[in-house]
Amino acid sequence: MSDNQKVLYTGKTHTTGGRDGASRSSDGRLDVKLSSPGSAGQGTNPEQLFAAGWSACFIGAMGFAAKSLAVALPTDLAVDTEVDLCSNAGGYELQARLNVSLPGVDHETARAIVDAAHQTCPYSKATRGNINVTINLV
């Protein structure tokens, strides 16, 4: 952490059993069963959790970007995030697609909002240069 960085929030979880276990947040608001992708397990998987978190954070970053551009975001905007778990000779890795819907916003303005959001969203920053990410306007 840099000297001028201020921690705004710390999410804390306790996970047991890995992909076929469970995870619970320290405040009890998150309490989920986990299962491997494609298995018959009853829980969600880390890729779905990551996609949900990224989508929510990205919408917040779009709001910040739209405000700086003096543009009102539509109430029915949506981000459908797809996180792929991939394998290669080196092991496993992720790749992602964010499919952004901004109904009623012209393409040029929507692209400016999405590009600015991708520069400020903490999830986008964390993945930049580490995994393949595609952001589509749909």
pLDDT tens per residue across all 138 residues of the chain:
667 899 999 999 999 999 999 999 999 999 999 999 888 889 999 999 999 999 999 999 999 999 999 999 999 999 999 999 999 998 999 999 999 999 999 999 999 999 999 999 999 999 999 999 999 999
Question: Which architecture, in CATH terms, is 46-137?
Answer: 2-Layer Sandwich (3.30)
- Predicted model pTM: 0.92
Distance of CA 130 to the CA centre of its chain: 14
The per-residue DSSP string of 14-79 comes to EEESGGGSEEEETTSS-EEEB--TTSS-SSB-HHHHHHHHHHHHHHHHHHHHHHHTT-PPPTT-EE
CATH level 2 (architecture), domain 1-44: Single Sheet (2.20)
Domain boundaries, the chain: 1-44, 46-137
Backbone torsions φ then ψ of 21, nearest 5 degrees: -125, -135
The pLDDT value recorded for residue 1 is 62
Q: What pLDDT score does 38 carry?
A: 87
Whether 1-44 shares its CATH topology with 46-137 is answered: no
| Residue in the block written with tokens 């880390």 | 46
Q: For residues 60 and 54, give the distance between their C-alpha atoms in angstroms, rounded to a whole number.
A: 10
The C-alpha atoms of residue 76 and residue 29 are separated, in whole angstroms, by: 26
